[in-house]
A = this chain, B = another copy of it.
């Protein structure tokens, strides 16, 4: 039994459908009618759960963020600290995009929709993003404490660049339909990790995609 009262269960179902729908039409594109028909309910039936459209948008936002946290962020935290954890996070993130799971893309869509629209929805979205940034930065700090990453690495900068990389992934995957989207993203992440690794060696992934030029190139072999 997922919830005590029945209303909680249907509310959950509504939000679930709404998240999936928002993945296609965006958060601002959500309509009470469309979701109502999608779950087989009347419009007024939904107003008992969410008092307004704005409240429903926030509920959708929270659900999407929760789903992302549950399926991507939290599982990655059980991977070994440092580089392995970053790679695990990215792999789960890529899977989230590959399977077109709604959580991540709703947030990406909402980010560009709401960036110039002040209000409670935008504020909530901002909070989610700041929390995500902080989570990534914490993972990086773990790697620094472990000695895997350089002590002078900038966790906030890493978080910023990693998120930018995933934005690029979404862009290439969804708009451009680029079949190399995942491969390019992995290369970007490998380069990101190279920049913060304590020893200066390139990652095997990046070196291989460069056609073996790396070992004869410019990087040193001391240590």
Contact = CB atoms under 8 A, between A and B. Distances in A.
Interface in A170-208: 170-172, 174-176, 178, 184, 187-188, 191, 195, 199-200
A176 B109 CA distance: 15
A171 B163 contact: yes
B188 A200 contact: no
Interface string A159-171: 0110111011111
A98 interface: no
Contacts of A168: 160-161, 163-165, 167-168
Given A113-B113, A184-B160, A188-B164, A213 B152 contact: yes
A112 B116 contact: no
A34 to B, nearest CB: 14
B191 A218 contact: no
A51 interface: no
Interface in A131-177: 133, 150, 152, 154, 157, 160-161, 163-165, 167-172, 174-176
Q: Which of A172, A174, A175, A195 has the most B CB atoms < 10 Å from its CB?
A: A175
A105 B25 CA distance: 19
Q: Which of A108, A160, A168 has the most B CB atoms < 10 Å from its CB?
A: A160
Interface stretch (A52-60, A83-91, A122-130): A122-130
Given A129-B175, A164-B171, A167-B168, A218 B217 contact: no
Contacts of A200: 217-219
A112 B168 CA distance: 11
A191 B191 contact: yes
A111 B171 contact: yes
A113 B117 contact: no
B175 A161 contact: no
Interface of A: 23-26, 28-29, 105, 108-109, 111-117, 122, 125-126, 129-130, 133, 150, 152, 154, 157, 160-161, 163-165, 167-172, 174-176, 178, 184, 187-188, 191, 195, 199-200, 209-211, 213, 217-220, 223
5 contacts: A109-B115, A112-B171, A113-B113, A154-B209, A199-B218
